[in-house]
Amino acid sequence: ILRNLKIYRNLMKTLMCMFFSHFKKTCVHTRRSDFILQRFYSSDPVFIRNALIYLNGTTEIDRTKHRKIVIFGDDQEFMKGIFNLSKDKVNHMGFLADYFVSKNRPSDDLIYSKYNCDTVLISAPRSTFGFWMGYLSKGNAVYHMDITHENKEFYRSRSFNSNDFFPIPWITLDFASSENKTVVER
């Protein structure tokens, strides 16, 4: 029985990889629970939605490509509520995508990232798990919320260098301003 179970599991993994290989996979890392308690900047659904709009392009060709969005994190209800949808199709953001909420163990999420994530969005910049998910990802195209977003004055007064936290090729994103929630590169 165990041998058949292993064969079945490997077959399912192979079929899923074949099915998903035709789509661009964007992996979104979220972090809420302890970050809220510690008063760190935690994942914001407005940032996530607007960052996905930014990442998925502004040209007609980019908007017509089908996407797979996989959401990882520590708060299942938050992750399910990011798009406020009962269906799997996310098309109200200007592009077509299927989204999936991971229910895997953290170690399985890292393995998934290594073999499947073309792009990683880290929505909680202080998350070390998010860092490793991006670092180990298949595509190593990593975008992250600006770590200074929550308290720019504090970081500026201390000669803070964000390159000490994130590899230089990774792209920093933030809201255009406190009033304008459009996501832009920093």
Strand order in the sheet with 67-72: 89-90, 97-101, 67-72, 24-29, 119-122, 141-145, 171-175, 183-185
pLDDT at 176: 92
The Cα-based distances of 65 to 10, 16, 42, 118, 134 in angstroms read 29, 19, 30, 14, 23
Condensed to tens digits (0 to 9), the pLDDT of residues 146-185 reads 887 776 665 666 666 767 788 889 999 999 998 999 998 8
Q: Which residue has the tokens 């990774």?
A: 170
Residues 6+ apart with CB under 8 A from 121: 26, 27, 28, 29, 48, 51, 52, 55, 143, 144
Phi, psi of 9 (to 5 degrees): -60, -45
The token pair at 81 is: 């509520």
pLDDT band at 122 (very low <50, low <70, confident <90, very high): very high
pTM score, whole prediction: 0.80
pLDDT band at 144 (very low <50, low <70, confident <90, very high): very high
Domains of the chain (ranges, CATH numbers): 22-185 (3.40.50)
Region for 84 from its dihedrals, namely left if φ exceeds 0, alpha if ψ lies in -120 to 50, beta otherwise? left
